[in-house]
């Protein structure tokens, strides 16, 4: 008994000592990762999510060796935007941040990013809509490298022809179900709390909008489209596709299972983005990519355009180097091509796009599907839309009264915008 | 914590941890050596920690460090203050890494801290001016080389810029721009200067070490200033908005419109009431608190949410406890073979990362594709109806949490001397009776505090809700408050769901929640006193 | 029938509980060995069996490094936490001093403050620490361990105090009469008696530390410094959820291994803990 006790106590004390001494005798390589160690050369710290961090690594190393600087890539696994803003504010943020363009409004109001000055030549090398997406209050706030938008991915074995309208799609889907070839009409993720991003093409085709635009084309937070009669009408059309309608949209199709339901051949149509293709290919499905079809007689179905962007952190320790990296290195096609190879999204640099489009026929199709796309609103007020709008969608799909639901959502949104 | 615990030592700065063995009264040689070694270690760490403080002239920090070290030395060298000796290590850590963050957070409840109001006014001004710098229309894009007239690490910086059309090279610094003789400079085909008489051209590596100076350098020219865009290009830019200390306002240089600083809201406000996006943090007194009380969005569903919150916390704690105890008691017998295997299998749910399993459970409850409906042949829209959604989250909590209670009860059962219950059985009590009369009360002594803390944990169990139902299902006409919302998830949505995070507001709501759950826990805690005194 | 009354029902409860516990885990296993590894739980029988997900996880990610980081961080933090907690629990149980009840209550109350709000303060604090003492700052194990140790006094202390309370006071009183000091009573008499609870607390601390996410996410940004929970989350973040779900499940299963090992290691203490002889000294 005593021996054992002594053993326990001894082990604990040892652990304790190890912990106490650890502060000093640091031999676990942590010193190498210590951000404030006096580096012999300038240091550039880049934050991205896990996937992009891995893809960026070789290029960052190359930039480092070519220019005699140290480049460190760090991956933030969750809440990238909040973490970036908070860390920047306390002076422990990165020099360069990689993220979606719709963060811009919030990053600007927190003074977390600096504008970049691109030469006219550089600007002309970037796809027009991508450049427009990163332009906020007349300033360019980052360098885009890839775009993404939703499209209709179709299993060509099940549905050889692309549907011209939603109604066509529903008819084909219903036929496949009656032939027992599929169990769902359409895989479009809704979930219990809805998904505004994936619904938007249908919503816009049915005549709804989120924010109006000012004279110069910027989004106008004072002109809220949710809760207007147009949005009520749009939601009536969506309700007809819902669980009490023809069951094209279902809450049981979620972000977790929409792609796997498609790859499991339970539905012939999937509304998703370039990220879904890896899985579709892995499952060995013959597919085609076409624009999301509109309602018959409706407006065109506009997906949102998302632009992956490199930002220069305003409170970075090495802004000159960060500017150099973002404006003069990210704008070269090599990097964009490599990032494309890590993840097949259309490059935003036209030179890079042209370079890879020959090997990947999908790219042109994504671009075609994104022809009508409108940039995701980057204004901070957009944050107030996602949640209530998604919930309204879920409720309407579940059979709730469209008018009452969308008006309540509009009230909630304008309430939180005006606070 | 309390004043008694550590005396002067309760105040600490983030120093390395101090581990000190308690002092044995018998002064055996071994324990003396251990004690002196550990105290020596404390002093050594304190000395190590003091150097950066001295270097940075952080005198307050240094004073705190010295006071803490002295207090610790005194504490462990005096024979008095025995409780404090045992509490000091944990208390120090607690104060630095928990009490301080909590107090800091609570203090933000009196500010407008949040997106758009995170920094100081100074920072906001810098951000506004930087964001307004645009290239002068029609101006030239220059190729840039950063150079110096002195040492590469310290010498004064000069921009060597090349006009791409004429290939004329100029040198610029804060004093202005002057042309250089083409004979004195070597220019690449791309227009970059690689060498110039009288100047040392910096490599990227050298230049990147002086990043701040390069970013700050603006070479004044007519109509604006030439600034660097990275290390290889320069442009002529002009600030569209400048801060004027005279009127404490920001002025647009083209339109002349002004926005005046408003210290009450922490923003520059224009005549029409429009605000510049970049604001700063100001104290707003109790307005976050009054907003909590007066906001109909909060007071409306508050009661309903509170009631469910209690049901959830009590249901989670009670359910896991009953099931965990049942299993623990069942397996607490030498006659049960394979107990080890049972135990390992039962602990598995607890060993899996909780967030991963929450996602898995969410999918299992799916109406059309979920395992539960498929397996039982039902067609229940589990997460789509208030009642079933509540059952579902409680079930998930039960699954996740009962291994914990099982473990704890198993441990507690071992600590109850077997003779006690055996003795009562000899006295003729049945198994159930002996459990109820002897084992259960003893278990409760050990576990009541734990149940209280489990209740407190579940009361604020953000992930359990957010990763499964996200608070839903929601009534069609009220997207702000759902059937399984806890106060904490509701707070989160209110404070972070709108346009940007509102930390000050969130902190204020948290303080209210804290008061509610704290009061209840404190009342429950008072009841443990009697138990404690009976068995202690 | 008599067997059932004595032992059988115990097995019945055990089996039912095991089934309940393992159901969802079977699904995870199924997804982990399913080469397509997608998240669609309508089937529990995988459409194929392969170890692709495991090999991919070990080859394409820094999983091994995450694993090591987690075990070291959680191991160190929980070992120290148990010790610190036991010290405090001892005086809370055995000594009567001013502020005792307040102290206990404060320990409980401080845990109730929502953690996600404290992130801002933690950033503020560790930005300063990183400037002064980089070896315990951001991106270091020690910094994170220290941060976790802030919670060393907490639920664990309560748990242990409860157990100390169940150990008869006469034991240490008689030892004191025999001339033992308070440290001797603690180290030689009480600690061995409460070995089971040390083991349980240690295990609980280990599990909660290894699963901790919020702070680990902001603290460790270098890929090689990440812990398991952060690394795994990164695998299924955003739209990659489907693509990497199989790998994620494989990782989840592997994550459980250290916990089960620690449990096995401590099982001895938990189970044997107090034999009837031990109480007598």
Q: Which residues of B touch C22 (CB under 8 A)?
A: 345, 348
How many contacts does A have with C, using Cβ atoms within 8 A?
165
> Is B261 in the same domain as B348?
no
> Is B341 in the same domain as B435?
yes
CA distance A55 to chain C (A): 12
Instruction: Report the candidate in C80, C53, C58, C242 with the shortest Cα–Cα distance to residue C149.
Output: C80
Range from A76-85, B8-17, B318-327 carrying the lowest mean pLDDT: B8-17
d(CA C192, CA C186): 9
On whether any CB of chain B is under 8 Å from the CB of A381, the answer is: yes
Question: CB neighbours (10 Å) of residue A83?
Answer: 20
pLDDT at B15 over 60: no
CA distance A279 to chain C (A): 6
How high is the pLDDT of residue C162? Answer: 77
Instruction: Determine the topology of domain C51-280 in CATH.
Output: MetI-like fold (1.10.3720)
Q: Which residues of A touch C127 (CB under 8 A)?
A: 90-92
How high is the pLDDT of residue B260? Answer: 92
CA distance A231 to chain B (A): 15
Q: Is C150's CB within 8 Å of B97's CB?
A: yes
Radius of gyration of chain B (CA): 34
Q: Among A8, A33, A256, whose Cβ lies nearest the Cβ of C198?
A: A8
Q: Is A4's CB within 8 Å of C76's CB?
A: no
Q: Is B345's CB within 8 Å of C147's CB?
A: no
Contacting chains of A (3 CB pairs or more, <8 Å) are: B, C
User: Does the N-terminal peptide bond of residue B473 adopt cis geometry, omega within 30 degrees of 0?
Assistant: yes
Contacts 24+ apart (CB under 8 A), B183-189: B185/B160, B187/B162
Quote the tokens at residue A191.
């979930």
Mean pLDDT, residues A253-278: 90
pLDDT at B50 over 80: yes
d(CA A318, CA B211): 5
pLDDT at B7 over 50: no
Q: Is B286 among the domain residues? A: no
Question: CB neighbours (10 Å) of residue B459?
Answer: 23
Q: Which residues of A touch B469 (CB under 8 A)?
A: 192
Q: B207 lies in which domain range?
A: 134-239
Q: Is B366's CB within 8 Å of A254's CB?
A: yes
Q: Which residues of B touch A263 (CB under 8 A)?
A: none
Q: Which residues of C touch A34 (CB under 8 A)?
A: 130, 134-135, 137, 139-140
pLDDT at A99 over 90: yes
> Is B352 in the same domain as B221?
no
Q: Is B257 among the domain residues? A: yes
> Is B147 in the same domain as B260?
no
> Is B7 in the same domain as B42?
yes
Radius of gyration of chain C (CA): 23
Last residue of a domain, one of B280, B303, B333: B280
Q: Judged by CB atoms within 8 Å, which residues 48-87 of A form the interface with B?
A: 67-69, 82, 85-86
Q: Judged by CB atoms within 8 Å, which residues 230-289 of A form the interface with C?
A: 255-257, 259-261, 263-264, 273, 275-276, 278-279, 282-283
How high is the pLDDT of residue A133? Answer: 92
Model confidence band, residue A419 (pLDDT cutoffs 50, 70, 90):
low
Could you tell me which chain C residue has the CA closest to the CA of B58?
Answer: C132
Q: Which residues of B touch C128 (CB under 8 A)?
A: 14
How high is the pLDDT of residue A309? Answer: 94
> Is B195 in the same domain as B333?
no
On whether any CB of chain C is under 8 Å from the CB of A26, the answer is: yes
Q: Is B493 among the domain residues? A: yes
pLDDT at B421 over 70: no
How high is the pLDDT of residue B14? Answer: 37
pLDDT digits (tens, 9 = 90+) for B147-201: 998 888 888 999 999 988 888 899 988 888 888 888 888 888 878 888 888 899 9
**For the domain that residue B206 is a member of, what is the CATH number?**
2.40.430
How high is the pLDDT of residue B531? Answer: 59
> Is B220 in the same domain as B265?
no
How high is the pLDDT of residue B333? Answer: 78
On whether any CB of chain B is under 8 Å from the CB of C226, the answer is: no
State residue B312 phi and psi, 5-degree precision.
-65, -50
How high is the pLDDT of residue A232? Answer: 95
Quote the tokens at residue C238.
């955003």
> Is B99 in the same domain as B234?
no
> Is B142 in the same domain as B71?
no
**For the domain that residue B323 is a member of, what is the CATH number?**
1.10.3720.10
Which residues on neighbouring strands pair with residue B170, listed in sequence order? Answer: B161, B179
Helix, strand and coil percent figures for chain C, each rounded to 5: 75, 0, 25
Average pLDDT value over all residues in chain B: 83
The tens place of each residue's pLDDT in chain C, 281 residues long, gives 677 777 788 888 889 999 988 888 888 888 888 776 565 545 566 667 788 888 888 888 888 988 999 999 999 999 999 999 999 999 998 888 888 888 888 888 887 777 777 888 888 888 888 888 888 888 888 889 999 998 888 778 887 887 788 778 888 888 888 878 888 888 888 888 888 778 878 888 888 888 888 888 888 777 777 888 888 888 877 666 667 788 888 888 888 888 888 888 877 776 554 333 333 22
Q: Best of C8, C19, C21 to disrupt the B interface by mutation (most B CBs within 10 Å)? A: C21
How high is the pLDDT of residue B13? Answer: 34
Q: Which residues of B touch C182 (CB under 8 A)?
A: 22, 24-25, 82
pLDDT digits (tens, 9 = 90+) for B99-116: 888 898 889 899 999 888
| Percent of chain A whose predicted confidence (pLDDT) is above 70 | 90
Quote the tokens at residue A295.
């309602």
Mean pLDDT, residues A348-358: 91
Virtual torsion, Cα B147, B153, B157, B163, nearest 10 deg: 20
- Start-end of H helices in C133-244: 141-149, 155-166, 169-177, 182-184, 191-193, 195-211, 214-219, 228-236
The domains found in chain A, sorted by start residue, are: 43-148+306-375 (3.40.190.10), 151-302+379-417 (3.40.190.10)
How high is the pLDDT of residue C24? Answer: 87
Model confidence band, residue B529 (pLDDT cutoffs 50, 70, 90):
low
Instruction: Report the candidate in A191, A184, A187 with the shortest Cα–Cα distance to residue A251.
Output: A191
Q: Is A327's CB within 8 Å of B124's CB?
A: no
d(CA A304, CA A195): 13
Model confidence band, residue A100 (pLDDT cutoffs 50, 70, 90):
very high
Q: Is B129 among the domain residues? A: no
Alpha-carbon distances, residue B508 vs A416, B7, B284, B293, B514 (angstroms): 17, 31, 12, 10, 10
Q: Judged by CB atoms within 8 Å, which residues 129-148 of C form the interface with A?
A: 130-131, 133-142, 145
Model confidence band, residue B498 (pLDDT cutoffs 50, 70, 90):
low
Q: Which residues of A touch C39 (CB under 8 A)?
A: 256-257, 260
Range from A311-320, B27-36, B264-273 carrying the lowest mean pLDDT: B27-36
Q: Which residues of C touch A264 (CB under 8 A)?
A: 38, 40
pTM of the model: 0.85
Q: Is B325 among the domain residues? A: yes
CA distance A22 to chain B (A): 10
> Is B140 in the same domain as B226?
yes
Could you tell me which chain C residue has the CA closest to the CA of B101?
Answer: C121
d(CA C281, CA C274): 11
Is the CB of residue C168 less than 8 Å from the CB of residue C98? no
pLDDT digits (tens, 9 = 90+) for C63-113: 898 899 999 999 999 999 999 999 999 999 888 888 888 888 888 888 777
pLDDT digits (tens, 9 = 90+) for A185-194: 999 999 998 9
State residue B241 phi and psi, 5-degree precision.
-135, 135
Q: Is B191 among the domain residues? A: yes
Question: CB neighbours (10 Å) of residue A100?
Answer: 18
- Start-end of H helices in A72-165: 80-89, 104-109, 120-124, 128-133
pLDDT at A254 over 80: yes
Q: Is B123 among the domain residues? A: no
Q: Judged by CB atoms within 8 Å, which residues 422-481 of B form the interface with C?
A: 442, 445-450, 452-453, 456-457, 459-460, 462
Q: Judged by CB atoms within 8 Å, which residues 178-207 of C form the interface with B?
A: 179-184, 186, 193-194, 196-197, 199-200, 203-204, 207
Q: Which residues of B touch C14 (CB under 8 A)?
A: 327, 330-331, 336, 342, 346
Q: What angle do CA A341, C223, B13 make, to 5 degrees?
A: 150
Q: Domains in chain B: how many in total? A: 4
Q: Is B211's CB within 8 Å of A318's CB?
A: yes
Model confidence band, residue B335 (pLDDT cutoffs 50, 70, 90):
confident
pLDDT at B242 over 50: yes
Q: Judged by CB atoms within 8 Å, which residues 125-184 of C form the interface with B?
A: 125, 128-129, 131-133, 136, 146-147, 149-155, 157-159, 161-163, 165-167, 169, 179-184
pLDDT digits (tens, 9 = 90+) for A146-173: 999 999 999 999 999 999 999 999 999 9
Q: Locate tokens 């991915």: which residue?
A: A153
Q: Is A9's CB within 8 Å of C221's CB?
A: no
Residue predicted with more confidence, B306 or B430: B306
How high is the pLDDT of residue C154? Answer: 79
Structural domain boundaries in chain C? 1-50, 51-280
CA distance B476 to chain A (A): 5
Q: Which residues of C touch A146 (CB under 8 A)?
A: none
d(CA B520, CA B309): 13
Quote the tokens at residue A198.
């994936």
């Amino acid at each position: 008994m005593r021996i054992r006790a002594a053993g326990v106590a001894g082990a604990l004390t040892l652990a304790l000592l190890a912990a106490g001494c650890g502060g000093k005798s640091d031999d676990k390589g942590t010193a190498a990762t210590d951000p404030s160690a006096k580096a012999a050369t300038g240091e550039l710290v880049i934050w991205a999510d896990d996937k992009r961090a891995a893809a960026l690594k070789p290029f960052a190393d190359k930039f480092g060796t070519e220019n005699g600087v140290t480049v460190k890539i760090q991956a933030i696994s969750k809440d990238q935007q909040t973490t970036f803003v908070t860390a920047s504010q306390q002076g422990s943020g990165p020099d360069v941040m990689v993220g979606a363009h719709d963060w811009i409004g919030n990053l600007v109001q927190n003074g977390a990013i600096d504008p970049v000055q691109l030469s006219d030549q550089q600007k002309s090398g970037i796809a027009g809509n991508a450049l427009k997406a990163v332009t906020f209050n007349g300033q360019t706030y980052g360098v885009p490298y890839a775009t993404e938008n939703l499209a209709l991915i179709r299993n060509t074995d099940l549905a050889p022809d692309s549907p011209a309208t939603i109604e066509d799609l529903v008819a084909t889907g219903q036929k496949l179900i009656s032939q027992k070839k599929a169990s769902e009409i359409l895989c479009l993720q809704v979930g219990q709390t809805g998904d505004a991003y994936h619904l938007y093409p249908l919503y816009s085709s049915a005549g709804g909008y989120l924010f109006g635009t000012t004279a110069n084309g910027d989004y106008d937070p004072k002109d809220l489209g949710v809760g207007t009669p147009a949005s009520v009408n749009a939601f009536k059309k969506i309700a007809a596709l819902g669980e009490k309608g023809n069951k094209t949209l279902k809450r049981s199709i979620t972000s977790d299972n929409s792609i796997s339901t498609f790859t499991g051949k339970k539905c012939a149509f999937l509304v998703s983005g370039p990220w879904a293709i890896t899985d579709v290919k892995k499952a060995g499905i013959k597919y085609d990519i076409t624009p999301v079809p509109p309602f018959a007689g409706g407006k065109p179905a506009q997906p949102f355009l998302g632009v992956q962007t490199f930002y220069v952190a305003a409170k970075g320790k090495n802004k000159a180097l960060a500017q150099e990296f973002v404006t003069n290195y990210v704008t070269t096609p090599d990097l964009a091509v490599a990032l494309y190879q890590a993840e097949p999204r259309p490059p935003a640099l036209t030179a890079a796009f042209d370079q890879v489009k020959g090997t990947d026929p999908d790219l042109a199709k994504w671009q075609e599907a994104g022809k009508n796309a409108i940039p995701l609103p980057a204004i901070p007020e957009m944050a107030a839309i996602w949640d209530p709008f998604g919930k309204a969608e879920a409720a309407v799909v579940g059979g709730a009264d469209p008018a009452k639901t969308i008006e309540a959502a509009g009230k909630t949104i304008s309430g939180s915008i005006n606070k | 914590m309390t004043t008694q615990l550590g005396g002067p030592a309760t105040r600490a700065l983030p120093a390395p941890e101090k581990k000190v063995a308690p002092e044995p009264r018998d002064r055996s040689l071994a324990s003396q050596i251990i004690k002196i070694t550990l105290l020596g270690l404390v002093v050594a760490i304190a000395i190590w920690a003091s150097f950066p403080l001295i270097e940075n002239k952080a005198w307050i920090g240094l004073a705190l460090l010295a006071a803490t070290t002295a207090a610790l030395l005194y504490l462990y060298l005096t024979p008095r203050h025995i409780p404090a000796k045992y509490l000091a290590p944990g208390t120090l850590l607690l104060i630095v890494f928990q009490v301080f963050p909590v107090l800091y957070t609570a203090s933000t409840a009196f500010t407008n801290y949040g997106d758009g109001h995170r920094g100081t006014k100074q920072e906001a001004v810098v951000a506004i001016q930087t964001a307004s710098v645009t290239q002068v229309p029609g101006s030239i894009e220059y190729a840039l080389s950063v150079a110096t007239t002195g040492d590469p690490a310290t010498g004064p910086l000069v921009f060597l810029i090349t006009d791409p059309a004429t290939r004329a090279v100029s040198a610029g610094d804060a004093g202005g721009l002057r042309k250089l003789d083409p004979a004195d400079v070597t220019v690449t085909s791309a227009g970059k200067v690689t060498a110039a008489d009288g100047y040392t051209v910096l490599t990227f590596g050298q230049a990147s070490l002086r990043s701040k100076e390069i970013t700050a350098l603006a070479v004044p020219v007519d109509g604006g200033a030439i600034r660097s865009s990275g290390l290889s290009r320069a442009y002529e830019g002009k600030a569209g908005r400048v801060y004027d200390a005279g009127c404490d306002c920001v002025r647009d240089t083209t339109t002349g419109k002004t926005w005046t600083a408003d210290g009450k809201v922490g923003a520059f406000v224009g005549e029409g009431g429009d605000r510049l996006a970049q604001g700063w943090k100001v104290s707003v007194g109790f307005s976050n608190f009054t907003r909590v009380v007066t906001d109909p969005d909060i007071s409306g569903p508050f009661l309903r949410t509170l009631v469910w919150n209690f049901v959830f916390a009590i249901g989670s704690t009670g359910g896991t406890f009953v099931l965990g105890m049942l299993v623990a008691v069942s397996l607490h017998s030498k006659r049960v073979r394979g107990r080890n295997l049972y135990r390992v299998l039962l602990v598995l749910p607890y060993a899996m990362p909780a967030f991963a399993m929450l996602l898995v459970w969410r999918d299992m409850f799916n109406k059309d594709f979920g395992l539960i409906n498929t397996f039982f042949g039902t067609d229940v829209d589990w997460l789509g109806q208030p009642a079933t959604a509540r059952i579902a989250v409680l079930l998930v909590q039960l699954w996740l949490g009962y291994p914990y209670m099982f473990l704890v009860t198993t441990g507690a059962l071992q600590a109850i001397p077997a003779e006690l219950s055996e003795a009562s059985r000899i006295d003729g009590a049945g198994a159930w009776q002996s459990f109820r009369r002897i084992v259960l009360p003893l278990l409760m002594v050990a576990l009541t505090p734990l149940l209280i803390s489990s209740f407190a944990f579940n009361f604020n169990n953000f992930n359990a809700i957010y990763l499964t139902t996200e608070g839903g299902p929601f009534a069609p006409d009220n997207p702000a408050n759902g059937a399984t919302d806890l106060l904490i998830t509701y707070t989160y949505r209110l404070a972070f769901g709108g346009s940007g995070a509102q930390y000050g507001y969130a902190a204020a709501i948290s303080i209210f929640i804290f008061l509610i759950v704290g009061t209840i826990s404190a009342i429950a805690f008072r009841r443990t006193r009697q138990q404690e005194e009976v068995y202690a | 029938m008599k067997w059932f009354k004595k032992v059988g029902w115990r097995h019945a409860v055990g089996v039912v509980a095991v089934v309940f516990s393992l159901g969802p885990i079977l699904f995870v296993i199924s997804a982990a060995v399913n080469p397509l590894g997608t998240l669609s739980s309508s089937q529990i029988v995988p459409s194929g069996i392969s170890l692709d997900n495991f090999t991919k996880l070990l080859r394409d990610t820094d999983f091994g490094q995450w694993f090591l980081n987690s075990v070291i961080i959680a191991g160190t933090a929980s070992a120290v936490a148990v010790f610190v907690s036991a010290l405090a629990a001892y005086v809370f149980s055995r000594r009567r001093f001013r502020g005792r009840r307040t102290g206990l209550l404060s320990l409980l109350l401080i845990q109730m403050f929502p953690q996600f709000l404290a992130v801002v303060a933690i950033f503020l604090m560790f930005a300063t620490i990183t400037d002064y003492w980089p070896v315990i700052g951001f991106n270091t194990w020690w910094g994170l361990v220290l941060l976790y140790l802030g919670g060393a006094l907490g639920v664990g202390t309560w748990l242990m105090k409860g157990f100390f309370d169940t150990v008869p006071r006469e034991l240490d009183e008689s030892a004191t009469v025999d001339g033992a000091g308070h440290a001797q009573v603690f180290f030689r008499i009480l600690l061995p008696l409460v070995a089971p609870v040390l083991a349980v607390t240690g295990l609980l601390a280990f599990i909660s530390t290894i699963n901790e996410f919020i702070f680990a996410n902001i603290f460790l940004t270098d890929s090689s410094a990440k812990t398991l929970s952060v690394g795994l989350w990164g695998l299924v973040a955003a739209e990659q959820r489907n693509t990497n779900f199989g790998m994620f499940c494989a990782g989840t299963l592997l994550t459980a291994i250290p916990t089960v090992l620690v449990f096995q290691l401590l099982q001895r203490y938990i189970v044997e803990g107090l034999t009837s002889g031990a109480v007598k000294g």
